[in-house]
Amino acid sequence: MAAYCSRPAASRPALLRERFLKHNGLVVIDEIQMVPDLLNEIHWMIENTNVSFLMTGSSARKLRRGHANLLAGRAWRYVMAPLSYMETEGFELEEVFISGLLPPHFLSNDPLQDLRAYVADYLKEEIAAEAVTQNIPAFTQFLHVAALTSGELLNYTNIGRETGVSAKVVRNYFQILEDTLLGFRVEPWRKVKKRRLIETEKFYLFDVGLTNYLARRSPKTGTPEFGQSLENYILMELKAYQAYRNPELDIRYWRTSTGFEVDFILGNMNVAIEVKGRSRVGSLSFAVSFLR
């Protein structure tokens, strides 16, 4: 196995072919999105050599917008989630709601400092460096508001009012979060015809610690913030299960126009999950039923 950093090939992607033409085995390339033209070389080498590739990246935005070669039919795609409970030796919920479950933050003696650096690097590397938006102060405020409203129904107008930009710009900001893998949408479940259902999507940030850091809160047991964080955490576990065990898992929520709601519905498993926090730290409560 050989490791290869994509940055040196930025000016001349053909360096990859020159270096590994006679290599027999696996080549690992980090941050592939930084040099989309490398994918043309990788395509050629897959077809004409014995080299296999493992490519990692934190954003698909640059690849899609640059009409990069996405190796259709020649590559498998996997998503890495933050740590799940099954990958740890256990934790207290109040603690993990602060640190989050990204491995360096979860294991850190000072997770807040690490989260601070993580957000700063994201704004520098993913946003400013790619010139995604020129208004970094507005985007920074948007991150705060997006964290405060994580798990709520999307309202671009209200978020734009809080951020100081238009609803159209807010839509683009949410797309940036999705493209850079910092968040995802949960769509409503629409298969019941007897009730008027909410049709608006929800949006969650991908890590509960990041959410609470950006929202500037430290959830305590018994508070509404604790319940919101618990819901975010359970969704993280569901997304990890989806990524590693069941890629076709359909995760949605259900809510009527009168306010009745179920947090998560696993459509192809016919399971509904309602999450509630108990008074004791570290405990979970689930109401699970099978759909009919």
What are 73's two structure tokens?
A: 């039919």
Low-confidence ranges of the chain (pLDDT < 70): 1-11, 60-70, 129-132, 191-198, 268-269, 278-292
DSSP 3-state of 264: strand
Domain ranges of the chain: 2-65, 85-232
pLDDT tens per residue, range 258-270 = 778 889 999 866 8
Q: What pLDDT, on the 0 to 100 scale, is given for residue 1?
A: 63
pLDDT tens per residue, range 135-190 = 888 899 999 999 999 999 999 999 999 999 999 999 999 998 998 889 999 999 87
The order of strands in the sheet holding 251-255 is 202-205, 183-188, 251-255, 261-266, 271-277, 284-290
Residue 46's identity, in one-letter code, is I
CB atoms within 10 A of CB 20: 19
Backbone phi, psi, residue 170, to 5°: -60, -40
Nearest to 262 by CA among 183, 184, 188: 188
Q: Are the C-beta atoms of residues 69 and 45 closer than 8 Å to each other? A: no
**Strands, DSSP E only, in 80-237?**
183-188, 202-205
